[in-house]
Every structure is written in C-alpha cells, then in structure tokens.
Structure 1
Amino acid sequence: MDHRANPAAAAEAGIDRIADFAGLDAEAREQVARRARVVQLPKDSHPFVAGAPCEAYLIVIEGCVRVQIVAESGREIVLYRVASGESCVLTTSCLLKHEPYSAEALCESVVTALAIPAGLFHDLLGTSSAFRKAVLESYATRVTDLIMTFEELAFRRLDRRLAEALVERAVDGAVTATHHDLAVELGSAREVVSRALKALEQDGLVGLGRGMIRITAPDRLARLARSV
C-alpha cells in the first residue's frame, strides 16, 4: 500500500501489524488511524539525534533501529535495538518527561514505522486505558531488556560476549564485520576487542581477515558463548 496516497488506510493497516495494539478500543483506534502516519526511513538515516525534541511516538512495523550513545571521543556504545512491533524506551521516556533525546538512533535497514504525534500520544494516555496499558507494558519490557544489557556489560567477561556476538552474526561460518563494528556492539574499545579476537585466533576458534572473521571451531565457540 502507498501510505502517501491514503495515509489513514496505511495507518489502519499499520495498527493491525502491531501486536501491542490488538486490544485498542474503537475510539483510540480511530484516533490513531486518523492522526498518525506511516513513515519510511532509509537505511543509515537517523530517526533522532541527541538534543533533538521528541515529536512522535514511533513503533517499528518493519526493519530495525539501533539506539546508541556517542561520546565526545567518537566512541559508540549500543544501548539496544528496536525491532518489528517494538517501540523505543527512550522515546517513551522523553515524551513522558517532555525532555529532548539524550542518545541517537540509526536505521540498520529500511524502516517502516507508525508515528503517533506527541499531542495524540498524551491525549490517548489520558483517555484510553487500552492505549495506556500497551505503552506502559512495552516500556516496562524494554527497561528490563536495558537492565540486562547493563548487567552483561558490567559483569560478563568480554570474551564470552564476543563469542556470543560472533555466533549470532555468523553466516556460512564467517562474520562480516570490522573490529570497530564489534566494539560498538559490545560497548568496548576497538583495541580491547582486537586483543580479544587475537586471543580467540590463538586458541584456534577463529581466523582473522580484513573485514571478515572465519569461525574455525564453531562448537567450541558456541560453548564459550554459552558460558557465564
């Protein structure tokens, strides 16, 4: 469907694809269909950046958005990802607190999302118990995921997290990624990740090449990834 030709119909179709909105009451559904819009965001575009005002509640319909912090040094730390059917915990927080964004988002693919204007978001929080329940339950789930991410960063050894990332990214026994990419993913410095990869290579688990990592002992790497 061309959402530009019939935005209300596109929004209605978008609602049907969001599991959290399955229980929306008729009035809330009509308001969202009439006032929200389906938007398409190109790969590598930024849905928001640090310091920008939060103007809409976004729910991803298709694609994946990475939310990250970028330090003054340029170092990036991935906080979480927003996949199909999910909303962004930072967006919800900024809307509830009427504050600007404190991190940035990057589309890792072409993203289709339902954008609910901030005014409508606040209206529905006050008038629709079903909408309020959907927003708060999604928010609670994402906060729990974020806490688990911080626990991993703080308490789980880097080599275990690196092994897990390699296992998850592997296609036909190889991972196409730079050391910088993996450092961003793991919230570490590139030099630290490079040393960890070299140690895995010396242990016979991987082979390192330019922009590619071959997994030479998949069973052993998987066991390392599962270890605490």
Structure 2
Amino acid sequence: MENTKLVTMLHNQGFENNLIDEILTVGRPKKVSKGSSVIAPGSKASEIPLVINGTLKVMRQDKDGSEIFLYYLEGGEACAMSITCCLENKKSQFSAIAEEDCVLWMIPMGSLDAWIAKYPSFRKFVFTSYQNRFDELLVAIDSMAFMKMDQRLYKYLLDKKQASGSFEIHKTHEQIARELNTSRVVISRLLKQLENEGKIEQYRNKIEIL
C-alpha cells in the first residue's frame, strides 16, 4: 500500500520512470511512531527521509536545549536541511520529530549526487525543496520578529491545522509553549483570549479551531 502511494507521489513530482525505479530499489520504508525522533541535533544523517504518510515537525535547538518550531514536512516532501547535511557530510543542527505516526521512505545519501547530475526532475525537486523551506524560514523569522505572541500562537494553530488536515489539535499548553519558546502561563492566557474571541474551543489536551 505504501509503495503504491509512494509511486503515485513520485509520478506527481514529475520524476522520470528510471529515477522512480532507482528510488524504489535503493530506498527502504520506515515506520515512525508519534513523538519519535527521525533526525537528532548533532547526528550525521546517512539517509534522507521522504514523507509518505503523516507529518514531521522540524525544530531548531540552542546549546541550552531550548527548542523552537520551524515548519512541518508533509506527504511527498523531503527536508532540504537534511539533504544539505548529507551532501556536505555535516552534523545536523535541527531535529525532525514525528508529529503523528508516520511512514517514511529512506533514501541513502550516496545516490543524491548522481541523481542531481543525471535527472533534471530530481535537480528541480531539490531546488524546490530549498526554496520552500527558505520561504517557510522567512515566515518563521518574520513571525518572531514582527508578530505579537498572540498572533504567533494563532498562526501556529493554523499551520498545524493545515499540516494535519484536521481542525482538532491534540496538544497540551506545555507542549505548545515549548515549541513557541515561551511559558505555559502565557500560552494558557492567550488560548483563553482566543477562545473568548470565538476563534477556538478548548477541551482537555485538545483545541478545536472554529
């Protein structure tokens, strides 16, 4: 089932048939449970994760262990930063965590250089991944620099809704505070404010966007 969906996704990317055959031959499936780390800070990646099902959450961590949310990776997407780490043999400076149970297709880094040179569609895929992630990082920087915390929180909730395809967000106040690098008290107060404005409804460990 996953292979069928993967092939459809690769065709939708415009990949050549020979490239699809190579991806299926050298890659491998990997199931990741919710909350599990796919890429850890300080690690050297030997494979690129391509999302088939589920959502990966990409976080940036400082030297003290504090984290801040950057963006989501959804079906058919690969992480441009992990591609860079593989190509340059660098240690990762970010983490990728399964936001829900995920199915990934792991591609060994040894194939990337050859595919970029050999297949125009894969070269375009890599450049597009860079551009999309760059645009998302600009949005993340803008939100931190120019948005008030209530605006950042509401944008975070809408991003989560778009990534998951669900109006229900199963997160505790503590989890949201950690991802936005603020305190639980601030998040609880602002969620109550959004609820009073009729934008959300709150339940135990669940938020519904209206």
TM-score by shorter chain over 0.5:
yes
Map of 2:22 onto structure 1: 31
Contact 1:18 1:61 in 2 (8 A): no
Query: Which letter maps to 2:82?
Result: T
Give the match's secondary structure for 1:78. Answer: strand
Aligned residue among 7, 15, 24 for 1:15: 7
Q: Write the distance in 1 (CA, Å) between the matches of 2:170 and 2:22.
A: 44
Q: Write the distance in 2 (CA, Å) between the matches of 1:185 and 1:125.
A: 34
- After superposition, the C-alpha distances for 1:52-81 in whole angstroms (9 at most, x for unaligned) are 111112210110111113445543311111
The 10-residue stretch of structure 1 (203-212 or 60-69) with the greater mean CA deviation from structure 2: 203-212
The 10-residue stretch of structure 1 (183-192 or 39-48) with the greater mean CA deviation from structure 2: 183-192
Asked whether 1:144 is paired with 2:135, we answer yes
Count of matched residue pairs: 203
Going from structure 1 to structure 2, the CA distance change for 1:181 and 1:13 (only over 3 Å counts) comes to: closer
- Equivalent pairs: percent with the same residue? 27
Going from structure 1 to structure 2, the CA distance change for 1:136 and 1:20 (only over 3 Å counts) comes to: farther
Q: Write the distance in 2 (CA, Å) between the matches of 1:20 and 1:56.
A: 22
Map of 1:77 onto structure 2: 68
Map of 2:116 onto structure 1: 125
Going from structure 1 to structure 2, the CA distance change for 1:185 and 1:20 (only over 3 Å counts) comes to: farther
Q: Write the distance in 2 (CA, Å) between the matches of 1:41 and 1:211.
A: 22
Asked whether 1:41 is paired with 2:64, we answer no
Aligned residue among 169, 172, 178 for 1:178: 172
Question: RMSD of the alignment, in Å?
Answer: 3.0
Cα displacement (A) at 1:180: 1.4
Cα displacement (A) at 1:212: 5.2
Going from structure 1 to structure 2, the CA distance change for 1:164 and 1:134 (only over 3 Å counts) comes to: closer
Structure with max Cα Rg? 1
Map of 2:187 onto structure 1: 193
Q: Write the distance in 1 (CA, Å) between the matches of 2:8 and 2:194.
A: 46
Query: Which letter maps to 2:58?
Result: V
Q: Write the distance in 1 (CA, Å) between the matches of 2:5 and 2:188.
A: 46
Cα displacement (A) at 1:119: 0.3
Runs of at least 5 residues in structure 2 that lack an aligned partner in the other structure: none
Contact 2:34 2:101 in 1 (8 A): yes
Runs of at least 5 residues in structure 1 that lack an aligned partner in the other structure: 4-9, 219-228
Map of 1:221 onto structure 2: none
- After superposition, the C-alpha distances for 1:83-115 in whole angstroms (9 at most, x for unaligned) are 111111221221232211111111111211221
Q: Write the distance in 2 (CA, Å) between the matches of 1:212 and 1:128.
A: 45
Query: Which letter maps to 1:16?
Result: T
Query: Which letter maps to 1:18?
Result: L
Aligned residue among 45, 50, 55 for 1:59: 50
The 10-residue stretch of structure 1 (77-86 or 35-44) with the greater mean CA deviation from structure 2: 35-44
Contact 1:41 1:112 in 2 (8 A): yes
Q: Write the distance in 2 (CA, Å) between the matches of 1:67 and 1:45.
A: 12
Give the match's secondary structure for 2:37. Answer: coil
